[in-house]
Amino acid sequence: MKTVKGRMDESILVCVFYGPNGERLIRRGHKLASMLDCPLYILTVDPLPLDDFDAEKSSYIERWEELADELDADEFIIRDNEKRPSPKVISEVAKELNITQIVIGQTARSRWEEITKGSFLNMLLREIPFADFHVVSVARNIGAEDEEFETGVRCYLVRENDDYKISFAQRKDCQVEGIFFKEIGTDFNNGIFKFMKDNKIYQLEVTDDLIVKPEVVDECVGNETVSK
């Protein structure tokens, strides 16, 4: 039997996503709820139906449910098979439960993701102006692919004859703006250039400052296709 909370004018919602930091966020939310003696809710959102969750996702869900019982949370909520953006779903739940404070993890989005998709926190702030946010710093889980490249930097493509060359300075003859990820351990500008055109993300290989497949850029910017 759950204990009746003393303060009902405050309520905490913890938003968890898959990864090792979910438990940390839940415990932070529980600490806040205990200090305020108010209801605690835990929410996760997934575009897949629950029956399609793989073993890893299912194990996270089971652990979060156990933790919710252990910490006497008022409800653990799963919004599965959800096709809407997460901020809209979180906003809907927050309104339904009269949430006043939301705990989220500081997302590990790259600069490229921030440019193309926007800041997750900014989207939440627009959707949920009525709640206060607690952003908990989380450790980034760096995979093998991330370790191959340095942090992305803003970059531009300039056409030179039949090629496209990257430029770190914006010029009048720049054709495309994007993000360049340089390979770690090289003195040359080798790596990956990413840019967005018509809501589609393109990823191109760069060798010695030059785009390996310039014809892809030509198709995007409407230039005459180069012959290679």
> What are 28-82's pLDDT values in tens digits?
999 999 999 999 999 999 999 988 888 888 888 989 999 999 999 999 999 999 9
Instruction: Look up the domain containing 200 and give its range.
Output: 148-221
What was the pLDDT predicted at 44?
94
Specify whether 107 is located in the same domain as 168.
no
Specify whether 129 is located in the same domain as 18.
yes
State which of 136, 162, 194 marks the end of a domain: 136
Q: Which two tokens stand for residue 217?
A: 């850029």
Residue 174 has pLDDT above 60, yes or no: yes
Specify whether 213 is located in the same domain as 112.
no
Specify whether 26 is located in the same domain as 121.
yes
- Once rounded to an integer, what is the mean pLDDT over residues 129-141? 74
pLDDT tens across 98-133, in order? 999 999 886 545 444 444 455 677 788 888 988 998
Short-list 31, 18, 132, 19, CA closest to 72:
31
State which of 109, 136, 163 marks the end of a domain: 136
What was the pLDDT predicted at 4?
58
CATH of the domain at 99: 3.40.50.620
- Work out how many domains the chain is built from and give that number: 2
Computed over every residue of the chain, the mean pLDDT equals 81
What was the pLDDT predicted at 57?
86
Residue 14 has pLDDT above 50, yes or no: yes
Specify whether 61 is located in the same domain as 117.
yes
Specify whether 94 is located in the same domain as 153.
no
Place of tokens 């003859």: 173
Domain-located, residue 30: yes
State which of 74, 101, 136 marks the end of a domain: 136
Specify whether 115 is located in the same domain as 180.
no
Domain-located, residue 1: no
What was the pLDDT predicted at 53?
86
In angstroms, the CA 106 to CA 103 distance is 10
Domain-located, residue 124: yes
- In sequence order, the β-bridge partners of residue 158 are 165, 174
What was the pLDDT predicted at 107?
58
Specify whether 103 is located in the same domain as 152.
no
Specify whether 61 is located in the same domain as 29.
yes
Q: In what order do the strands lie in the sheet with 101-105?
A: 75-79, 40-45, 12-15, 101-105, 132-136
Domain-located, residue 42: yes
What was the pLDDT predicted at 88?
92
pTM (predicted TM-score)? 0.58
Cβ–Cβ < 8 Å for 98, 62: no
CA dihedral (63, 65, 68, 70) positive or negative: negative
Short-list 43, 97, 39, 101, CA closest to 71:
39
Specify whether 59 is located in the same domain as 127.
yes
Specify whether 153 is located in the same domain as 120.
no
Lowest-confidence region among 6-15, 31-40, 215-224: 215-224
Class of residue 87 by CB neighbours under 10 A (exposed 0-12, middle 13-18, buried 19+): buried
Residue 211 has pLDDT above 70, yes or no: yes
